[in-house]
Amino acid sequence: MLGYLEQLKQDGKLDEFPDYVLIDMHLSDMDALTFLTRFEQLVVNIETPEVFILSSSGSKKSRDLAMQYSFVSAYLKKPVPPDFIEVLIAGRSVDDSPH
């Protein structure tokens, strides 16, 4: 995913950037926090997509770390019903995160 976004930026195709990014806390090649750090560097000076994080863990520490990024809109515990994602994208303020 990052490689694709980096290529879009390098090619000047910023209009092709997604509006939303949905990632799992445990990616196959890196963890979500590493992704978020690299993503933050990538989106400097461009309109930033909203990021939704999915996790099988209700870890408050992980949630707090992820939510420090201004572009992270939600930290959701799996399983998340598909219609819930639609609600998030529709712009309603819904949060399934542990407090």
Give the type of residue at 19.
D
Q: Which residue range is the domain that position 70 belongs to?
A: 19-89
Q: Is the pTM of this model over 0.85?
A: no
* Alpha-carbon gap, residue 11 to 32, rounded angstroms: 25
Number of domains within the chain? 1
Q: Give the pLDDT of residue 21.
A: 92
pLDDT tens digits, the chain, 99 residues: what are they?
Answer: 889 999 999 999 999 999 999 988 887 888 888 999 999 999 998 888 999 999 987 789 989 999 999 999 889 888 988 788 888 778 644 444 443
Q: Give the pLDDT of residue 7.
A: 95
Q: Give the pLDDT of residue 99.
A: 36
Kindly report the CATH number assigned to the domain that includes residue 27.
Answer: 3.40.50.2300
β 72-77/50-55 pair status: parallel
In a domain, 81, yes or no: yes
In a domain, 65, yes or no: yes
